[in-house]
Amino acid sequence: MNRPTITRTTCARIPTEFGEFKLCHYVNDHDHKEHLAVVMGDVSSAETAGKRAENGVLVRVHSECFTGDVLGSRRCDCGEQLARAMALIAAEGRGVIVYLRQEGRGIGLENKLRAYNLQDQGYDTVDANLMLGHQADEREYWAAAGILEDLGVTRVRLLTNNPAKIEHLRALGMDVQARVPIEPTVHADNAGYLETKVARMRHMLGMPVSGVETPAPVAGTAAPYASVLQGLRTRLAHHADTRRPFVTLSYAQSLDGSIAAQPGAPTRLSGPAAMAMTHALRAEHDAILVGIGTVLADNPRLTVRLVDGASPRPVVLDSKLRMPPDSHLMTHPAGVVIATNGHDGTRDRHLLGLGATLLQLPSTTAGQIDLHALLGSLAELGIHSVMVEGGAAVINSFLREQLVDYVLVTVAPVFLGGVHAVNAAVAAPSFPRLADVHTNTLGDDIIISGVPTWAAVPA
């Protein structure tokens, strides 16, 4: 899969208390953010005199933290990790710190400060992000991989406590040979923050976790939504139709059935526990499907971030090929699949050049993408299960074609009076009734799940 282009513009000598480094500046053609590389010594992994270096280069991928790196804030361990990385690299005589402009785990400085205020009210660092309408961690690492490749670094020993960095870099083709831990200093100002990173973000720290009620993020029996997952897994295990994938329809709605306050405006409905469940559900599927309207309105990532598990491959229904080349899904580590019944040679070539997989599909009599043909094509790609998340047009289409095998709806305790998930214009026989119904409560949300059954159409 092709990645955005990242280009080195210039470098300069930077003497520091740890020794002399070279600071290199990079720009990219995706989001136009500036990134940096702090380099010491010869870091190229290329063969020298016919002999490869035995050990990978010591590398720290560090996301910008103005409060910690510049002000020395004690709320986090970022500044300490940066200084420790520079010291370790200086001691070894060579290494790289990739400095990514991803303040606040990708949500920006303003929202990071708002999250701090929520943390002071008792919310942890994960829930604070979710309450602001963001993911727990919105960072991406394609820029880091591009910078390391530009520097000739192919084998690394990664200075990190975060397994997600290792997973992302490996998915991007980097040879991460080992993890080098950086143990933080734990004190009253950062203990809760660090405990949350261990309990909810899988960080590998040698510290006991006490007083954190939220279970470790695993998609297994310890999670509060374990029974929901088990119901799905039972159905997946008994799906024997190899001609098309198992289809789970899952979305969140208000008490009045709205999935958004108004068309084209993303509305967060699920609470933190239900959001974690949604990520666990994603990890159970091979693919996740949305319509182009969702992409244009939300620019979603559709990755698994809040629990341990692999991210499903994104599939986008896009009849007119409106997929933005700079959308998050175009850099998804699993590679995006764009399903269309339209054709535009220039757009086709451009999207293919960016690494997308295009499925040219037949149309229905109404001019829509033939979903039966789509599922057959996905099966040919080795996709055995698909999670359909929306939006409303997609939900209605799958219900109308009776292509849903399992339904899971999160109901939030709020009235919106907005865009309804199910359109009254759809013929009544297209609406199923659920059998084998289960209800669960996660926080303030109610989870309703079951197997859809359609009434026979009268002769």
Whether 378 contacts 245, CB under 8 Å: yes
pLDDT tens digits for range 301-311: 898 877 778 89
User: Are the CB atoms for 134 and 121 separated by under 8 Å?
Assistant: no
The predicted model gives 439-449 an average pLDDT of 92
Is 114 domain-assigned? no
Annotated catalytic residue 3: no
Specify if 122 maps to a domain. no
From 157, 185, 201, the end of a domain falls on: 201
**321 and 176, same domain (yes or no):** no
Express each pLDDT in 114-155 by its tens digit. 999 999 988 889 989 998 889 999 999 999 999 999 999 999
Over residues 86-99, the mean pLDDT reads 94
Q: Which neighbouring-strand residues pair with 97?
A: 38, 60
Distances (CA, A) of 68 to 81, 109, 125, 206: 10, 12, 15, 21
pLDDT given for residue 223 in this prediction:
64
- Total domain count, the chain: 2
Q: Provide the percentage of residues in the chain whose pLDDT is more than 70.
A: 90
Query: Mean pLDDT, to the nearest integer, of 71-86?
Result: 94
Residue ranges making up the domain that contains 32: 6-102+139-201
Tell me which of 242 and 68 has the higher pLDDT.
Answer: 68
How high is the pLDDT of residue 423?
Answer: 75
Q: In this structure, is residue 269 part of a structural domain?
A: yes
Whether this model's pTM surpasses 0.85? no
DSSP string for 225-294: THHHHHHHHHHHHT---TTS-EEEEEEEE-TTSEEESBTTB------HHHHHHHHHHHHTSSEEEEEHHH
Q: Within this chain, do residues 311 and 397 fall inside the same structural domain, yes or no?
A: yes
Q: Is the pLDDT of residue 426 over 60?
A: no
Instruction: Indicate if 234 and 91 belong to the same structural domain.
Output: no
Looking at residues 430-448, what average pLDDT do you find?
A: 91
- Compute the average pLDDT of residues 8-29: 96
Greater confidence, 227 or 65? 65
Decide if 331 is inside a domain. Answer: yes
The total of other beta-carbon atoms located within 10 Å of residue 441's CB is 11
Same domain, 143 and 252: no
The verdict on 76 and 189 lying in the same domain is yes
Per-residue pLDDT, 429: 65
171 shares its domain with 230: no
Question: Binning pLDDT at 50, 70 and 90, where does residue 242 land?
Answer: confident
Asked whether residue 265 falls in the same domain as residue 159, the answer is: no
Given a cut of 60, whether residue 236 has pLDDT beyond it is yes
**SS3 category, 113:** helix
Does residue 96 lie within any of the structural domains? yes
- Backbone Cα Rg of the chain: 24
Domain shared by 287 and 421, yes or no? yes
Pairwise CA distance, residues 437 & 169, whole Å: 41
Query: Is the pLDDT score of 74 beyond 90?
Result: yes
Catalytic site includes residue 137: yes
Distances (CA, A) of 283 to 99, 176, 278, 295, 398: 30, 23, 9, 20, 21
Same domain, 193 and 272: no
Q: Among the options 69, 137, 405, 445, which is catalytic?
A: 137
pLDDT for 55 equals: 75
Whether the pLDDT of residue 320 is over 80: the answer is yes
CATH of the domain at 430: 3.40.430.10
> Which residue do the tokens 């020298």 mark?
48
pLDDT at 123: 87
What is the band of 297 on the pLDDT scale with cuts at 50, 70, 90? confident
Q: Are residues 178 and 269 in the same domain?
A: no
Is 436 in the same domain as 400? yes
Domain boundary among 184, 201, 218: 201
Question: Residue 24: inside a domain, yes or no?
Answer: yes
Pairing relationship of beta strands 445-453 and 175-180 according to DSSP bridges: unpaired
What are the Cα distances from residue 35, in Å, to 9, 42, 82, 164, 216?
11, 20, 15, 20, 32
Average pLDDT, the chain: 87
Q: Which residues of 231-251 are buried (b: 16+ CB within 10 A; e: fewer)?
A: bbeebbeeeeeeebbbbbbbb
Cα distance from N-terminal residue to C-terminal residue, the chain: 51
Q: What is the mean pLDDT of residues 357-383?
A: 94
165 and 37 inside one domain: yes
Q: What's the rounded mean pLDDT across residues 265-272?
A: 78
Asked whether the beta carbons of 3 and 172 are under 8 A apart, the reply is yes
**Residue 54's domain is classified under what CATH number?**
3.40.50.10990
Indicate which residue of 139, 155, 157, 282 is catalytic.
139
214 found inside a domain: no
The predicted pLDDT at position 425 comes to 59
Quick one: average pLDDT of 374-389? 96
Residue 107 lies in a domain: no
Residue 311 per-residue DSSP state: P
Dump pLDDT digits (tens) for 182-228. 888 888 888 889 988 988 888 888 665 444 333 334 344 446 788 88
